[in-house]
Amino acid sequence: MRVAVVGAGGIGSVFGGRLAAAGHEVWLVHRRPAHVEAVRRDGLLLDGPRGAERIAIRATCDPGEVGSVDLVLVLTKANDTRAAADAARPLVGDGTVVVTLQNGLGNLETIGEVLGVERVLVGMTYHGASLDAPGRVRHTATGQTFVGEPWGGITERVQSIADCFTEAGVATEVTDRLWEMVWGKLVINAALNATCALTGASGVDILASPSARELVGQVAHECAAVATALGITLPYPDPAVRVWQHCETIQTAKPSMLQDLERGRTTEIDAINGAIVREGMRLGVPTPLNRALMLLIKAREDVTWHS
């Protein structure tokens, strides 16, 4: 299979690296020349549960160099989704399938507007990774990955992609409960990412602090109330307990929003807590904790940019 990963930072490089190691023709498409040049020169150094591996893989800053592919994986930050979809136009042929594994809400609609909603599948993953240096990625956490049709049902193309990922070493399940899974992760991200970004905390730090532990639990329940108003049943019985479990899973790893702030980058706050706030307003569900986290992160971004 010919695969292009648009947004080949940490998670993108994990998926791309595993697929390349399994024998697929994979292109990492990244906007930073230093990363692309390092991968072209030395291969991708992937440091994770299997130890340190150096994987031969193609890389480029120019999607036009690749041509049409069978599968486009979009793994940019949510605020870069439209730019990623525009950049992916040269990668899309008649039979191309596009899969978004991004955080937050709204990515399906944005990609669909640009590339055609009929070719877009939605997935989510609990894997974690960081791009530590050009050409070097650290696989910080493993977890479940799901993929499904946005409008329901289990199709041959979804099963084929899930099988491809699984055979490459990234265990992936097909689901006909896609939005339950997406919201399941959204609740965790909304509760944990902004809290960690504002406090500098890791998962174990959250669990060690009674105040932080209580806060993320309350945010999780607030998010769950919005999901309930949408008619969505979360894939776990207690949202607070599930967030605490995720803290245990990631241990000392830094959530992506904390990494973004440390590097002076724009966060995904609008697609995560901001999405909860917007849905809450539309449905008449109060979301004061999510609004406070959203405003605090935006204030932190303003201070970072103007310092």
Q: Rounded mean pLDDT of the chain? A: 95
pLDDT computed for residue 171 by the predictor: 96
Burial class of residue 291 (count of CB atoms within 10 Å of its CB; 0-12, 13-18, 19+) = middle
Examine the pLDDT at 52 and tell me if it is beyond 80. Answer: yes
CA dihedral 157, 161, 166, 172 (to 10 degrees): -80
Q: How confident is the model at residue 50 (pLDDT cuts 50, 70, 90)?
A: confident
Q: How confident is the model at residue 166 (pLDDT cuts 50, 70, 90)?
A: very high
Examine the pLDDT at 304 and tell me if it is beyond 80. Answer: no
- β partners of residue 124: 146
Upper half-sphere CA count for residue 174 (Cβ side, 13 Å): 14
Spell out the SS3 assignment of 13-59: HHHHHHHHHCCCEEEEECCCHHHHHHHHHHCEEEEECCEEEEECCEE
d(CA 55, CA 5): 15
pLDDT computed for residue 263 by the predictor: 87
Examine the pLDDT at 6 and tell me if it is beyond 90. Answer: yes
Residue-wise pLDDT for 170-181, tens only, equals 999 999 999 999
3-state DSSP assignment of residue 194: helix
pLDDT computed for residue 306 by the predictor: 57
Examine the pLDDT at 305 and tell me if it is beyond 80. Answer: no
Of 103, 123, 121, residue with least CA distance to 111: 121
pLDDT computed for residue 141 by the predictor: 86
What amino acid positions are annotated as catalytic residues?
A: 185
Q: How confident is the model at residue 126 (pLDDT cuts 50, 70, 90)?
A: very high
pLDDT computed for residue 265 by the predictor: 87
**Residue ranges of domains in the chain, CATH in brackets:** 2-176 (3.40.50.720), 179-306 (1.10.1040.10)
Residue-wise pLDDT for 109-118, tens only, equals 999 999 999 9
pLDDT computed for residue 48 by the predictor: 87
Average pLDDT over residues 62-78: 96
Pairing type for strands 145-148 and 120-125 reads: antiparallel
286/50: higher pLDDT: 286
Q: How confident is the model at residue 307 (pLDDT cuts 50, 70, 90)?
A: low
Tokens of residue 150, six digits: 């946005």
Examine the pLDDT at 194 and tell me if it is beyond 70. Answer: yes
Residue-wise pLDDT for 241-279, tens only, equals 999 999 999 899 888 899 899 988 899 999 999 999 999
Pairing type for strands 51-55 and 44-48 reads: antiparallel
285 vs 222, 228, 288, 297, CA distance in Å? 9, 10, 10, 22
Of 77, 104, 130, 73, residue with least CA distance to 250: 130
